[in-house]
Amino acid sequence: MTKLELFLLTWGNSPGRVLIYLQEKDLIEPPHIKITPVTVSAAGQMEAPGKPPGSVPILMLPNGSFIKQELAGLSRKNMRGNTAEERAHTRVVLALTDEASNLFGFAARKCTTLFVALETSSAEGSRLAIEWCKRDLKPLEAYYEGDKRLENGGEDAATTIADCALFPFLQYSEMHAIDLLAEPELLN
């Protein structure tokens, strides 16, 4: 069987997205995929044997080509929805989640000592990014409220690519001790 190789940081938001997707597709176990951890050097470079230039996650295909954009690597037709309405729902949730995730990543970089040597810190920039991140999350409750997939405790739910992006993002924010859902407007 041909093997995929996934280069990723063992921490952060993106690995969660990719690993949840692979679990949903039953591809997480060998011999399907080799997971290669990437480290960050003192100079801020992402390093791993065989990793091409660029940020991670990166998926190397059996033919040696690479998928370097995580959502491009994850987006499969059967995880976007079966009807036009479901696909539209998934696109909106994914867009809001991705924007909130990018803002949160910016906020984390601006207030984390890990990035001090690489870029200027800014408490105000971080605060504004978190504020905008929360603003982007507010409409998500309306998209999940009444979601038929979540009936019966979600046992029969078909996981979407948007779910694969939202769940690890919320976990990542909790890792930073920032509860993005602790807002009066976000009841569920």
> What pLDDT is stored for residue 77 in this prediction?
57
Tell me the percentage of the chain whose pLDDT exceeds 70.
68
Give mean pLDDT, residues 41-70: 81
Can you read off the two tokens belonging to residue 69?
A: 């954009």
> Which of the two residues, 144 and 16, has the higher pLDDT score?
144
> What pLDDT is stored for residue 71 in this prediction?
52
Confidence of residue 69 (pLDDT cuts 50, 70, 90): low
Q: If phi over 0 gives left and psi between -120 and 50 gives alpha, with beta otherwise, what is residue 38?
A: beta
User: In Å, how far from its chain's centre is CA 188?
Assistant: 21
Give mean pLDDT, residues 135-142: 85
pLDDT tens string 12-33: 666 666 666 666 666 666 667 7
> Which of the two residues, 125 and 14, has the higher pLDDT score?
125
User: What is d(CA 171, CA 30) in angstroms, rounded to the nearest whole number?
Assistant: 26
In 3D space, the residue among 36, 41, 28, 30 whose CA is nearest the CA of residue 10 turns out to be 36
> Which of the two residues, 102 and 151, has the higher pLDDT score?
102
Can you read off the two tokens belonging to residue 36?
A: 């290669």
The whole model's pTM is what?
Answer: 0.63
In 3D space, the residue among 166, 163, 177 whose CA is nearest the CA of residue 101 turns out to be 166
pLDDT tens string 74-91: 555 567 777 888 888 888
- Strand intervals (E) in 80-140: none
Confidence of residue 156 (pLDDT cuts 50, 70, 90): low
> What pLDDT is stored for residue 184 in this prediction?
47
